[in-house]
Amino acid sequence: MRESEVIERLRRIATAPEARGLLDDVAVLGDLVITHDSIAEEVHFLPQDPPASVGWKLIAVNLSDLAAKGAVPAGALLSLTISGPGAWEMDFLDGVEAACESYGLPLIGGDTVAIRPGAPRVFGVTALGRAERVPGRAGAVPGDLLVVTGPLGAAGVAFRAGRLAPPPQRLAEGRRLAAVAHAMLDLSDGLGPDALHIAERSGCRLVIDLDLVPLVEGATRADLEFGEDYELLAATPDALDFTIIGRCEEGSGVSVPLRGWEHF
């Protein structure tokens, strides 16, 4: 079973207009933007990763969804699994606390659940923000420029080096782009698949020039397929001062055959 099949089934339940057809990474209730992301051990982080870094990542990936909607963080709910004596979890919470303080995100509640010792840990956060204009994945039109907010490939480089890359935080950049962008998302699954989300939702073709895509030092094309870059990709009539990597035109699909993360 593929992730797309699961989401298609969920659409039969999530019929409220606030769900946006589950075609985006957020729900919108008035000016309130709501998102939920989870991270799982041995999928999004490894047992040997520093627990404080894992806690930081959990907050950062949720704020990345808010950044992609131009939202200002307003609060978060934490789902915390606890296993064994709890030393790992205490260090994990140090990372959560540091990230919340750094990004001005109030922790306003959540839930804790005990798991058997040795069971893979799974953590989740529901993040809330406020925004005046919320660009979705649909809305790109021929003539739009494609821009990214920073260099890509950091997560792939870090994984090959046996470490965890801290996701970049683009809240300020997201607010600037949200004022003009026709479509925007954060690059979590890889440049190719995430660009395809915009192309399919918008009914246009995204032409990407790989020579224009900025890479972190040491990154290769393979690292573009790793995912977890968490930079923003926007289709916009005004590039502002962000890096242009392509354009939107008539047609369908994406011009480059880049793979990415597939959940199933």
pTM: 0.94
The pairing of strands 145-148 and 243-249 is antiparallel
Domains, the chain, with CATH or none: 3-130 (3.30.1330.10), 145-249 (3.90.650.10)
Rounded Cα–Cα distance for residues 50 and 164 (Å): 8
Residues, the chain: 264
Q: Record the tokens describing residue 71, joined without a space.
A: 């939202």
pLDDT digits (tens, 9 = 90+) for 93-139: 999 999 999 999 999 999 999 999 889 999 999 999 999 999 999 99
Strand partners, 40: 122
Crossing angle, helix 51-67 and helix 87-103, to 10 degrees?
Answer: 30
pLDDT digits (tens, 9 = 90+) for 161-213: 988 888 999 999 999 999 999 999 999 999 999 999 999 999 999 999 999 99
Contacts of 96 (CB under 8 A, 6+ apart): 55, 56, 58, 59, 78, 107
